[in-house]
């Protein structure tokens, strides 16, 4: 598949997707780093028992609580926001692909991509499996 | 161990994993879980969560470079992502019911399998007869070769699709990219050329891992303090690796990495047998 009469060529789409992924990963790494440095400055000696699984508390598990905590500048939640950014980077790519296939009037792939997107959103927005 | 020490050691180990993974082209994600559980003594669930996060980071980071080379096939990738994301959700759901020891055993077997499958294999003979389903789905394509574009036809879509579901399940269950299974499905079953299948597989890994990561996050398996040094370390290692050796896949390094995979796999099985998970 080299091109299409409608919208962008596949090659241009590749380039845009590449940039999209790079921006997402860079932004997320910077946020995680900021939160991590802040945590280590304020709690360098903190010990946590990671050998035993206890599950993260609610404020580190659901999206609104993570964002709320990071706005209050809690270092641990800032890290979590960075991780959330990373998790949604591939989702942004899929959303972008829906638009591209729609512009190319490729109905089959619009449907295919929407299925992938809904599975992703189901997972991230907290669907129970 | 204080959090500073933990971050330092885990970060260093993750840099090494990312570096080796990108230099050998085998991906570093698969060694993160054994590193965290066997060396750092982290709980298996937290280890899998952190590994999943690092897999998204390296996949997205590497895809940015790959897609620009024009090798990956977005249509094949997107179509098969239906299977991998469904598998990932299924796998992530299994984590809650499958005992940790069983997960560790499966992990050990997958490590040993990855060591086995990653030996340099000749490319499968390409089949030039078109497949009607692939043609209807617009999957046939071309990639830049030495003497101009090389065209290829895709085959056995139902088989590839089923294998991708398995790859997705393993990814969700073990927090790995399952690149080895994905390449197997595309390379061997669907006759996608090696260059296209590796890049397309890498492309799909991020989406697959994101599907399970959502479930992991809500379950409380993603610990920020474990994930932070792992994600940053693996990402840093893989970026450096890609810079210093663009496309140079040293054979001896691959052998070393395969040996590491084999040892870690047996170590996982041994520890599972002793009941340490």
Q: State whether residue A126 sits within 8 Å of chain B by CB.
A: yes
Segment among A50-59, B8-17, B253-262 with least mean pLDDT: A50-59
Higher local confidence (pLDDT), A114 or B267: A114
| Residue numbers of A between 57 and 76 with CB closer than 8 Å to B | 57, 60-62, 76
Q: CA B75 to CA B83: how far, in whole Å? A: 13
In which band, very low, low, confident or very high, does the pLDDT at A2 lie, cut at 50, 70 and 90?
very low
Question: Using the 8-state DSSP alphabet, how is residue A70 labeled?
Answer: H
- pLDDT of B81 strictly over 80: yes
CA distance A25 to chain B (A): 6
pLDDT digits (tens, 9 = 90+) for A64-104: 777 777 777 778 888 989 999 999 999 998 999 899 889 88
Closest CA to A35 of A62, A64, A72, A61: A72
Burial of B132 (0-12, 13-18, 19+ CB in 10 A): exposed
Q: Are B192 and B152 in contact (CB under 8 A)?
A: yes
Higher local confidence (pLDDT), B151 or A97: A97
Q: Are B164 and B141 in contact (CB under 8 A)?
A: no
- pLDDT of A1 strictly over 50: no
Q: CA A18 to CA A90: how far, in whole Å? A: 11
Higher local confidence (pLDDT), B257 or B50: B50
Which residue, chain included where needed, has tokens 């296209």?
B196
Beta carbons of B43 and A52 less than 8 Å apart: yes
Closest CA to B182 of B147, B156, B208: B208
Percent of chain B with pLDDT over 90: 18
Beta carbons of B3 and A44 less than 8 Å apart: yes
The three-state secondary structure class of B78 is: helix
Q: Are A18 and B63 in contact (CB under 8 A)?
A: yes
Token reading at A19: 């940039």
Higher local confidence (pLDDT), B41 or B26: B41
Q: CA B81 to CA B183: how far, in whole Å? A: 13
Domain tally for chain B? Answer: 1
Q: CA B273 to CA B275: how far, in whole Å? A: 5
Answer yes or no: pTM beyond 0.90. Answer: no
Q: Which residues on chain A are in Cβ contact (under 8 Å) with B137?
A: 108
- What is the structure's pLDDT at B195? 74
- What is the structure's pLDDT at A49? 64
- What is the structure's pLDDT at A110? 94
CA distance B66 to chain A (A): 8
Alpha helices in chain B (DSSP H): 3-24, 29-34, 44-68, 74-95, 100-117, 132-136, 157-174, 179-183, 194-219, 224-244, 251-274
CA distance B179 to chain A (A): 17
Mean pLDDT along residues A42-56: 68
- What is the structure's pLDDT at B26? 64
Q: Which residues on chain B are in Cβ contact (under 8 Å) with A17?
A: 63, 67, 74
Q: CA B109 to CA B95: how far, in whole Å? A: 17
Q: Which residues on chain B are in Cβ contact (under 8 Å) with A113?
A: 78
- What is the structure's pLDDT at B247? 54
Output the CA torsion A76→A42→B228→A51 (10° steps): -90
Q: Are B191 and B121 in contact (CB under 8 A)?
A: no
- What is the structure's pLDDT at A10? 67
- What is the structure's pLDDT at B115? 81
| Mean residue pLDDT across chain B | 82
Closest CA to B230 of B156, B153, B176: B176
Q: ∠ at Cα B186 (B184, B189), nearest 5°?
A: 75
Beta carbons of A109 and B78 less than 8 Å apart: yes
The three-state secondary structure class of A126 is: coil
- What is the structure's pLDDT at B14? 92
pLDDT digits (tens, 9 = 90+) for B182-202: 877 887 788 887 777 777 887
- pLDDT of B68 strictly over 90: no
Beta carbons of B78 and A33 less than 8 Å apart: no
CA distance A81 to chain B (A): 10
Q: CA B92 to CA B84: how far, in whole Å? A: 12
Mean pLDDT along residues B195-214: 85
In which band, very low, low, confident or very high, does the pLDDT at A50 lie, cut at 50, 70 and 90?
low
- pLDDT of B98 strictly over 60: yes
Question: Using the 8-state DSSP alphabet, how is residue A106 labeled?
Answer: -
Higher local confidence (pLDDT), B210 or B119: B210
Mean pLDDT along residues B109-116: 84
**The domain containing residue B12 runs over which residues?**
3-274
Question: Using the 8-state DSSP alphabet, how is residue B37 labeled?
Answer: I
Q: Chain A: residue nearest B200 by CA?
A: A14
Percent of chain B with pLDDT over 70: 88
Q: Are A32 and B230 in contact (CB under 8 A)?
A: no
- pLDDT of A3 strictly over 50: no
Closest CA to B225 of A23, A26, A74: A74
Q: Which residues on chain A are in Cβ contact (under 8 Å) with B44?
A: 53
Closest CA to B59 of B72, B70, B76, B47: B72
Count Cβ atoms below 10 Å from residue A5 Cβ, excluding itself.
7
ipTM: 0.83
Which residue, chain included where needed, has tokens 């050329």?
B193
In which band, very low, low, confident or very high, does the pLDDT at B250 lie, cut at 50, 70 and 90?
low
CA distance A114 to chain B (A): 10
């Amino acid at each position: 598949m080299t091109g299409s009469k409608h919208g962008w060529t596949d090659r241009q789409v590749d380039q845009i997707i590449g940039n999209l992924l790079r921006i997402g990963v860079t932004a997320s790494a910077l946020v995680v780093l900021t939160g991590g440095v802040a945590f280590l400055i304020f709690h360098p000696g903190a010990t946590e028992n990671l050998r035993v699984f206890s599950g993260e508390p609610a404020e580190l598990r659901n999206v609104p609580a993570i964002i709320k905590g990071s706005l209050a500048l809690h270092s641990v939640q800032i890290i979590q926001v960075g991780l959330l950014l990373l998790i949604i980077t591939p989702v942004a790519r899929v959303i972008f692909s829906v638009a591209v296939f729609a512009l190319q009037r490729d109905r089959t792939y619009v449907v295919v991509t929407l299925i992938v997107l809904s599975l992703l959103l189901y997972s991230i927005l907290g669907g129970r499996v | 161990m204080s959090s500073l020490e933990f971050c330092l050691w885990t970060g260093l180990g993750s840099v090494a994993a990312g570096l080796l993974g990108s230099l050998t082209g085998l991906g570093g994600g698969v060694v993160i879980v054994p590193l965290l559980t066997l060396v750092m003594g982290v709980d298996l669930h937290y280890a899998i969560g952190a590994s999943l996060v690092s897999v998204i980071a390296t996949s997205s980071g590497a895809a940015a470079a790959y897609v620009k080379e024009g090798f990956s096939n977005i249509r094949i990738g997107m179509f098969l992502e239906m299977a991998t994301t469904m598998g990932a959700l299924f796998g992530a759901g299994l984590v809650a019911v499958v005992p940790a020891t069983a997960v560790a055993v499966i992990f050990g077997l997958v490590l040993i399998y990855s060591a086995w499958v990653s030996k340099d294999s000749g490319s499968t003979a390409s089949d030039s007869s078109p497949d009607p389903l692939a043609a209807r789905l617009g999957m046939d394509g071309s990639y830049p070769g030495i003497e101009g574009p090389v065209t290829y036809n895709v085959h056995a879509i139902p088989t590839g699709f089923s294998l991708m579901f398995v790859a997705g399940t393993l990814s969700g269950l073990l927090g790995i990219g399952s690149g080895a299974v994905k390449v197997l499905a595309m390379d061997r079953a669907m006759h996608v050329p090696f260059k296209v299948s590796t890049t397309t597989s890498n492309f799909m890994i991020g989406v697959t891992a994101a599907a399970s990561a959502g479930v992991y996050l809500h379950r409380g398996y993603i610990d920020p303090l474990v994930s932070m040094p792992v994600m940053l370390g693996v990402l840093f290692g893989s970026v450096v690796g890609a810079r210093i050796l663009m496309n140079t896949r040293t054979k001896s390094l691959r052998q070393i990495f395969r040996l590491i995979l084999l040892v870690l796999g047996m170590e996982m099985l041994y520890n599972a047998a002793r009941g340490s998970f």
